[in-house]
Amino acid sequence: MPVDQVLANCFEAQGGLATLKAVQSRHLTGHIEGLPDPVFFDQLNARPDRIRLETRTEPKGAPASDQTKTFDGKAGWAWSSADAPRVLEPEEVKVLDADFDGPLLDAAAKGNKIEFKGLQEFQNQKALVLKVTLKDKRVQTMYFDPKTFLKFAQVNGEGKAGVELDFWDYQEVDGLPMAYTVIIGPVSVRVDKITLNVPVSDADFQPPAKK
């Protein structure tokens, strides 16, 4: 199967290209399990490649702490309930990952290279495997169910340095299937709610004004 056909099937499984590109924003709320203290998150993504991620940690017997990171398409910032805004370093922006559509959609225009590695065994099941080399040379290997064409796993990096993410509990949001659980080792990221096409403004992705 040529890589273009694999991608076409994957996009169709996600709702189709036209539907995917019609989504202008995503708002996710949820919590993270498996950490020493309870953590809650609120994430807003919007075109073109903007993101705002707020996290709240609630340690037992201590005050809660809040942290916010944003990227407006050109620059990023971070601040917390205790620290004033600072500019994000380039590596921090990469980790924040503001790519609204992900690396597969419009890959060539983004400078990403995609290779189809065939049908392989992964996690005791068959998987269609795509190797993605990002413009900055980082590598992501994605594993798709050959029946549903939905991604069930991804490894960021190569060899022993690779970090595996497992995608579970797909639910439809306005007709689009989305994973509500992402497992990273002992940690589980649980999405409680996803809302599409919420109103956004430029201020959502900027640091707070100085007092």
Give pLDDT tens digits for 177-208: 999 999 999 999 999 999 999 999 999 999 99
Tell me: pLDDT of 151 over 70: yes
Q: Which residue has the tokens 């807003």?
A: 44
Please provide the average confidence, as pLDDT, over all residues in the chain: 96
What's the pTM? 0.94
pLDDT for res 211: 61
Tokens of 46: 């919007």
Give pLDDT tens digits for 13-69: 999 999 999 999 999 999 999 999 999 999 999 999 999 999 999 999 999 999 999
Query: Which of the 8 DSSP states describes residue 148?
Result: T
DSSP β-bridge partners for residue 67: 55, 80
Task: Please give the radius of gyration of the chain, using alpha carbons only, rounded to the nearest integer.
Answer: 18
Say how many C-beta atoms besides its own lie within 10 A of residue 49's C-beta.
Answer: 16
Confidence of residue 210 (pLDDT cuts 50, 70, 90): confident
